[in-house]
Amino acid sequence: MYEYLNGVVTYISPLYLVVENQGIGYQIAMGNPYRYSSQLNGQVKIYLHQVIREDAQLLYGFENLEEKQLFLKLISVSGIGPKSALAILANDNHSGLIQAIEADDVTYLTKFPGVGKKTAQQMILDLKGKLGELVADFPVEKKPTAVNAADSALVEALEALAALGYSEKEVKRVAKLLPETVGQTTDQYLREALKLLMKK
């Protein structure tokens, strides 16, 4: 079982990034691969969770150990698979997620793609009181890094939202609001879009 991987980011897509180590490119599924845009062709350390199925061997990646631990807690909930867990983690406000679980806030939890009322209630039932040690590890919001204006960055961010499972209607609604923030990277557009989707 892999714990983490040190390597060079060689490719970024809406669903995954490729990290090369010793001549081998590892495809790693992530909630927001574009957070590594500024590190393309640069060295990174990614925490991993490996899933071996009959038809595939999959790697899921995380920025730090705390995010990985939160992912493992999420996939332990009935009705939440790895893809849904990544979509939940794509939103940077992990503290908000934990607080919503602790406060029995079903409405907040159902804003995530693929999470209905029943799954939200199951999350509260299974995880309430078990995430306290993680709260301090997550900043409420991360500050954006490099800025470079490009229409392609907005398009990539909208593709990433669709890949995470948000509906076409939700993506179109958010697309109207995003161009107001000109000069953003894909990562910044995606973070802003996820914040807007959680507000409703």
Please, where in the chain does CATH 2.40.50.140 lie? Answer: 4-62
Q: Which residue has the tokens 């939160």?
A: 70
What tens digit of pLDDT does each residue of 78-125 get? 999 999 999 999 987 888 899 899 999 999 999 999 899 999 999 999
The two tokens of residue 179 are 């161009």
pTM of the model: 0.76
The number of C-alpha atoms within 13 Å of 193 and in the hemisphere containing its C-beta is 31
Architecture of domain 65-135: Orthogonal Bundle (1.10)
- What is the third-level CATH fold of 151-199? Helicase, Ruva Protein; domain 3 (1.10.8)
What tens digit of pLDDT does each residue of 3-40 get? 999 999 999 999 999 999 999 999 999 999 999 999 99
Architecture of domain 4-62: Beta Barrel (2.40)
